Amino acid sequence: MLKMKCPNCDEMIVSALLSDIEQITCDHCRQSVSVADVLVYAEGFTFHRSDLLKRLFRYKTLLSEVGKERELLENDVHASEESKKSLVRFQQALEEVMAGARNHLRLDFTEPLPLCFSVNEQIYSASLVNLSMTGACIEIVHNTPCPRRKVAIDLTISLPGLSTGFDLSGTVSWVDRAGTKTHNGCAVGIEFKSLNAENIAHLWDFISSAASAPCQS
């Protein structure tokens, strides 16, 4: 869950929308305040969301190690039930904290990545501008037709560090025909639909690793 302290009344504002909006109305003082210093909390754990995002790869690794340790304890006939239950609670808390970062983490590319997209079985080239667990933004050059809002669209993406590309399906959520910094064409926002478990795993591994890469040293 996400929360922040209201700068007006010092009460806590709790909302899953804190990662998506710039202003929010406090339930306590009814004042509209700027969103800042967002915290992620679960089962006694509290992190500044910005700190969590910077160290996402480390916490993801920790969660993996906790899963391995839990498996070892489950197979250890000498391990106490209290230890097993405590490790389960620890793992659940970590998973909840990670979800607070994962659901709204967006990765922006300094250099747009080439990709292919298809609409109505017609295949075109474009560039990937940003990517999240729920959607993407692509740039389309001026001589390629821009898809309309709400139409189905399929992407074929090859991400750095992955040996094979993978396909993502979604719908067009918005279209900006005013041009972009890179092209005189249009920018298109895409909302993913019905991702399978394999693609979810690929996205999470790539986005979380890339987002925290500068802080791994």
C-beta neighbour count of 24 within 10 angstroms: 17
Within this chain, do residues 14 and 49 fall inside the same structural domain, yes or no? no
Q: Can you tell me which residue has the tokens 């940003």? A: 130
**Pair 110, 25: CB distance under 8 Å:** no
| Span of 13-22, 27-36, 58-67, 127-136 with lowest mean pLDDT | 13-22
Within this chain, do residues 94 and 155 fall inside the same structural domain, yes or no? no
Query: Which of residues 77, 102, 127 is at a domain's end?
Result: 102
| Span of 9-13, 101-105, 111-115, 173-177 with lowest mean pLDDT | 101-105
Determine the distance from the C-alpha atom of residue 204 to the mean position of all C-alpha atoms in its chain, rounded to a whole number.
Answer: 7
Within this chain, do residues 21 and 98 fall inside the same structural domain, yes or no? no
Within this chain, do residues 111 and 97 fall inside the same structural domain, yes or no? no
| Span of 38-47, 125-134, 142-151, 168-177 with lowest mean pLDDT | 38-47
Within this chain, do residues 96 and 113 fall inside the same structural domain, yes or no? no
Give the residue, 27 or 21, on which the prediction is more confident: 27
DSSP 11: P
Reference 44, options 94, 111, 114; nearest CA is 94
Within this chain, do residues 9 and 86 fall inside the same structural domain, yes or no? no
First to last CA, the chain: 29
Within this chain, do residues 30 and 59 fall inside the same structural domain, yes or no? no
pLDDT band for 197, please (50, 70, 90 cuts). Answer: confident
Within this chain, do residues 91 and 168 fall inside the same structural domain, yes or no? no
CATH number of residue 124's parent domain: 2.40.10.220
Residue 113 pLDDT more than 60?
yes
pLDDT band for 100, please (50, 70, 90 cuts). Answer: low
**This prediction's pTM:** 0.60
Which pLDDT belongs to residue 92? Answer: 86
Within this chain, do residues 96 and 122 fall inside the same structural domain, yes or no? no
Specify the number of domains making up the chain.
3
Within this chain, do residues 94 and 167 fall inside the same structural domain, yes or no? no
Q: What is the mean pLDDT of the chain?
A: 83
Containing structural domain, residue 71: 45-102
How far is residue 71's CA from residue 154's CA, in Å, rounded to a whole number?
39
